[in-house]
């Protein structure tokens, strides 16, 4: 048996998987933070004291996963890299086993929103890669650098710097790759339809209502809609509403329907509306759905007959385009 070849195949498979998994989460770290908030909730691991730190924790974990994949691929400090990979896999194994066995978390978020696996499929996937990592642990002597010393040292460093830059950029703006069913160009009504082989539609909690009626269908059929999405007013940058007001005024002049979507109370919104003289009303929507629609609080979304035409973080409010 050629142990060197088996080790190299295992090394490549583990490295590529870690790099892919790290990258698809790196382009949307808030999505990973939302997933860890679910894991740390009272109904799952009951580690609620960690919830305020889910975003930095998620970014750190994503960067570690990405770096370990790159370090394993180039052969940087093999012993440190392999044992670090094994430790991280133990964490993944426990979390995926827990969510599968106790049926607590429907999707572990291992591949962000790019690939969705069932809890048990995710656990068995991690068991498979755990075996590959064990092969690496017992065959460390075969893991050698595939590049020169300079490249082997610099590639992980460049990866770290690049990862930090991407994290900063997407937090200041929006994910550079959007795998969600609310991405630009996606049809929300189509996402709400049942697909053969799926237990539920990709979009299953998109309900927009006020105190008296459900306006979802009206909004999805309208020619032009501008939605100001703020999942939680207490956590939002409320001062930016003074800059949102003129955009809303312009949108109304152009024939847009304009609303705020929020999971906060109507009383809280009315205080905000009075303070900034906002020319639109609020519709209730599920908080998790709002966080899925756009990774900003507040963020701006434009629709045409239910198709997402534009998305902007509040930091890019000067770039909003109205037709």
Q: What is the DSSP string of 197-237?
A: T-SS-S------B-SS-B-HHHHHH-S-EEEEE-S-GGGS-
pLDDT tens for 171-221 read 999 999 999 999 999 999 999 988 776 777 889 889 999 989 999 999 999
For the residues 143-157, what does the mean pLDDT come to? 92
pTM for this prediction? 0.89
pLDDT at position 108 is: 67
pLDDT tens for 126-140 read 999 999 999 999 999
| d(C-alpha 58, C-alpha 49), whole Å | 15
| d(C-alpha 40, C-alpha 199), whole Å | 26
| d(C-alpha 285, C-alpha 276), whole Å | 22
| d(C-alpha 2, C-alpha 323), whole Å | 64
Residue 120 — pLDDT band, cuts 50, 70, 90?
confident
For the residues 156-181, what does the mean pLDDT come to? 95
| d(C-alpha 43, C-alpha 57), whole Å | 20
Residue 9 and residue 72 in contact, taking contact as beta carbons nearer than 8 Å: no
Closest C-alpha among 216, 206, 197, 170 to residue 290: 206
Closest C-alpha among 117, 105, 110 to residue 88: 110
pLDDT at 112 over 80: no
Residue 1 — pLDDT band, cuts 50, 70, 90?
low
pLDDT at position 197 is: 67
Residue 42 — pLDDT band, cuts 50, 70, 90?
confident
Residue 117 — pLDDT band, cuts 50, 70, 90?
confident
pLDDT at position 119 is: 80
Tokens matching residue 314: 């509040």
3-class DSSP state of 80: helix
Residue 96 — pLDDT band, cuts 50, 70, 90?
confident
Residue 227 and residue 300 in contact, taking contact as beta carbons nearer than 8 Å: yes
Report the range of poorest mean pLDDT among 59-63, 102-106, 271-275, 280-284: 102-106
Tokens matching residue 268: 């809280």
pLDDT tens for 223-252 read 999 999 999 999 898 999 999 999 999 999
Place of tokens 């670090």: 84
| d(C-alpha 40, C-alpha 90), whole Å | 18
The answer to whether the bond into 256 is cis (omega within 30° of 0) is: no
User: Residues 9, 11, 12, 14: is their CA dihedral positive or negative?
Assistant: positive
pLDDT tens for 284-310 read 999 989 999 999 999 999 999 999 999
DSSP annotation of 51: G
pLDDT at position 16 is: 96
Domain limits of the chain?
A: 3-172, 188-319
CATH second-level architecture of 188-319? 3-Layer(aba) Sandwich (3.40)
Q: What is the mean pLDDT of the chain?
A: 92
| d(C-alpha 177, C-alpha 161), whole Å | 19
Rg (CA), the chain: 23
């Amino acid at each position: 048996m050629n142990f060197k070849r088996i080790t190299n195949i295992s090394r490549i498979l583990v490295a590529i998987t870690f790099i892919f998994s790290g990258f698809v989460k790196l382009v949307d770290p808030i999505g990973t933070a939302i997933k860890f908030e679910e894991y740390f909730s009272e109904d799952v691991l009951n580690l609620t004291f960690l919830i305020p730190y889910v975003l930095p924790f998620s970014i750190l974990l994503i960067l570690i996963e990405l770096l370990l994949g790159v370090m394993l691929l180039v052969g940087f400090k093999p012993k440190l890299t392999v044992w670090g990979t094994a430790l991280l896999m133990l964490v993944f194994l426990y979390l995926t086993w827990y969510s599968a066995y106790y049926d607590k978390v429907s999707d572990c978020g291992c591949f962000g929103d790019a690939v969705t696996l069932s809890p048990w499929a995710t656990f068995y996937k991690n068991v498979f890669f755990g075996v590959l990592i064990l092969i690496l642990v017992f065959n460390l002597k075969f893991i050698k650098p595939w590049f020169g010393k300079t490249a082997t040292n610099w590639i992980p460093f460049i990866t770290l710097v690049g990862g930090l830059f991407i994290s900063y950029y997407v937090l200041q703006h929006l994910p550079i790759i959007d795998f969600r069913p609310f991405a630009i160009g996606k049809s929300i009504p189509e996402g709400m339809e049942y697909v053969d082989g799926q237990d539920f539609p990709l979009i299953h909690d998109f309900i927009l209502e006020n105190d008296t009626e459900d306006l979802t269908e009206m909004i999805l059929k309208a020619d032009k809609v501008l939605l100001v999405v703020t999942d939680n007013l207490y956590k939002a940058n409320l001062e930016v509403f003074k800059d949102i007001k003129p955009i809303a005024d312009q949108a109304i002049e152009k024939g847009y329907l304009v609303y705020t979507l929020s999971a906060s109370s109507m009383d809280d919104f009315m205080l905000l509306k009075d303070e900034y003289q906002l020319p639109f009303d609020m519709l209730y929507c599920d908080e998790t759905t709002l966080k899925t629609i756009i990774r900003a609080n507040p963020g701006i979304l434009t629709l045409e007959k239910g198709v997402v035409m534009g998305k902007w973080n509040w930091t890019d409010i000067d770039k909003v385009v109205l037709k």
